[in-house]
Amino acid sequence: MAEITGEMVRRLRERTGAGLMECKRALETAGGNEEVAVDNLRKSGLKTAEKKAGREMSEGRVKSYIAPDARSGALVALTCETDFVARNQEFEVLLADAAKLAADTHCSDAAALAGAAYKGSTLGETIKLMVGKIGENISVGKAAAYTNASGFVGCYVHHDGKKAAIVSVKTTGDQAKAVAMLKELSMHIVFSNPVALSRAEIDADKVQREREIYLEEVKSKPADIQEKIVAGKLSAFYAQWVLPEQRWFADESKTVQQALEAELGKGATVEGFARFQIGG
């Protein structure tokens, strides 16, 4: 059997990130052949990941990447089982890389992002190897990417790293001003939790249920004013969930749309947004 030296173990550990004893055993099994040992460790890591794939993941972090010109960006949520792993430096580096990868590949699908090329392999396979090393299930939870040639993309990540939003806005306004406003808008999205960009995006069945409830509430009113009251109640309902119609969190005398145009000019419009939250 070939002699396994400390230098051989060190090199293998640097290449794979595996523990010292794992590297030593892999080299012994491979008869000292470093490449075979690498393959063995990769296979071992994948098997470990498969065993842990069904375990619940209620922790994790969200990370954003915005291009220097603010014309594109992405938001990615990486989930895991414990907060301890979410605070691991290796986890944080991988998450930052995943956010940039999503932006570079314009990827808004978690499965597609996991399959994207990453450091000679795929992001998903790299995650599986990390699962084998750390011993916890880890997965790409969500991804959202935007590109805007006629405006800008901005984001906000809450200080706990568990809540975040990204938004794409069409505007001819100044970049610096737009970036500041989009950060505020993203903050608004995190705390106000809108679900749609327009009334048409709200589920029709949900709207009908609300309408029926309101009609029941006003059935004692004169018929000629029932519809007016119901229309007013529906407007208030939409203002809860439709982003442009929500009350602006920094000044409730304005709607989000009014605040956006006041800052970035007439015609500024939200073209897309996403809000991610780990747990809760």
- 262-272 confidence digits (pLDDT tens): 999 999 999 99
pTM of the predicted model as reported, rounded to 2 decimal places: 0.79
Split at pLDDT 50, 70, 90, the class of 42 is low
And the tokens for 38? 């690498």
CATH number of this structure's domain 59-197+243-277: 3.30.479.20
Whether the pLDDT of residue 14 is over 90: the answer is no
Which of 264, 270, 241 is closest to 181 using CA atoms?
A: 264
3-state secondary structure of 243: helix
pLDDT at position 4 is 82
Alpha helix (H) ranges present in the chain? Answer: 6-16, 20-29, 34-52, 83-86, 89-105, 110-114, 123-134, 175-192, 204-217, 223-241, 256-264
Identity of the residue numbered 36: V
pLDDT at position 3 is 82
34-38, 76-80, 126-130: the lowest-pLDDT one: 34-38
38-52, 91-105, 128-142, 248-262: the lowest-pLDDT one: 38-52
pLDDT at position 182 is 98
Domain 6-52 CATH assignment equals 3.30.2320.50: no
Q: What's the number of CA atoms in the CB half-sphere (13 Å) around residue 259?
A: 21
Q: Residue ranges of the domains in the chain?
A: 6-52, 59-197+243-277, 203-241
Q: What is the DSSP letter of 33?
A: -
Q: Which residues contact 198 (CB under 8 A, 6 or more apart)?
A: 242, 244
C-alpha span between 54 and 50 (Å, rounded): 8
Q: Are 215 and 230 in contact (CB under 8 A)?
A: yes
Split at pLDDT 50, 70, 90, the class of 87 is very high
